[in-house]
Structure 1
Amino acid sequence: MSEVKIFRVSGRMLLSHDRFPEWRKFAVYVRALKPEHALERVYSELGSRHKLRRRHIKIDRVEEVPLEEVEDLTVIKLAQLERWVKA
């Protein structure tokens, strides 16, 4: 079984592309098995959260990071879980 890793995906996204376009930097921490999976997750989250198309998201870097460098509390809590409990 593969181990879930934590990736930091950073890049730029085009906000308000119709009237006053502005490229804004972002850095997102996601849990995934491979860098490709992390990339798909970021496209999905940013697209749904900010109503962006994939062409409005430019990825600069995808890197695996240790748990000590993660700043997102949700990702930290998920990484520290020992097991999932089904209800």
Structure 2
Amino acid sequence: MKVYRVAGKFLMGEIWQTFRKEIIGNSEEEAKERIYSILGSRHKVKRRMIKIESIEEIQKNEISDPVIKYMVEKHEGG
């Protein structure tokens, strides 16, 4: 189980909205697909309107999202 921090922007009406989200995935490609899925579902944004600027794997101590942190700790058994 790896955690990735994905940053970029998506077109919301006429304005480019920036985002940064932590995602659990097995690879960068999986994290990218999950971002497309989440933003498309929540904001009704087409994939071509999402610009991913960076994807980086982060360590357990760098996680800021409490839900992701809980899931990682639970997966590791502690």
TM-score, reference length from structure 2: 0.93
Q: Which residue of 1 aligns with 2:16?
A: 23
The answer to whether structure 1 residue 69 and structure 2 residue 66 are counterparts is no
Rounded Cα–Cα distance in structure 2 between residues aligned with 1:71 and 1:47: 23
Higher helix proportion (structure 1 or 2): 2
Task: Give 1:26-41 correspondences, 5 Å limit.
Answer: 26-41=19-34
RMSD: 1.1
Stretches of 4+ moved more than 6 A in 1? none
Structure 2: stretches of 5+ with no match in the other structure? none
- Higher Cα radius of gyration: 1
May I ask how many residue pairs the two structures share in their alignment? Answer: 76
CA 1:71/1:61 → structure 2, altered by over 3 Å: closer, same or farther? same
The answer to whether structure 1 residue 55 and structure 2 residue 52 are counterparts is no
Q: Which residue of 2 aligns with 1:81?
A: 74
Structure 1: stretches of 5+ with no match in the other structure? none
The answer to whether structure 1 residue 9 and structure 2 residue 6 are counterparts is yes
Identity %: 37
